[in-house]
Structure 1
């Protein structure tokens, strides 16, 4: 999903809001996260994950085209760690998935039989 798709989906789920307002809200949230990371802060969204900044030390690299040694300066990189709840949702056990499929099938059968 890209940002424009997120904005579109949120606008569809909230018909009382204009799409331009939803876009401003999404941009404000993402901007706030970016600003916090730029200041070196950590951003935690419960049930989703944590954004943080880690420092990657200076090193000597190699130019892949020429093979020459190149010095790479120290830099800060953003990192994301998914929450336990998000990991659980992404890695649902087969028994949980089977129960969900059985429940959905029962609901569909109930609608078809009616």
Structure 2
């Protein structure tokens, strides 16, 4: 697998002081998705962390240290919560799930 060049940009976003928003949604298969996003210069919402919980309970995490794997990738498009069926989530709820899960890549964070 090649190194994803988005990692540098996503890391810069994550380390920035930009406003954070957190989101939760369920897809048509029963998978759950959680996102930590920053608010961009023009109000767009860019994911800096993403959690997928499959219908079978597998947890996958994507962020600048692990932007993609054989199962998926950190979204490279801005989030559109209303169009994507996402609800706002309290930051502490997102971080509890993030901290309780392990990245399949072995990277901490």
Structure with bigger gyration radius: 1
TM (normalized to structure 2)? 0.24
- Which structure has more relative contact order (CA 8 Å, sep 6+)? It is 2
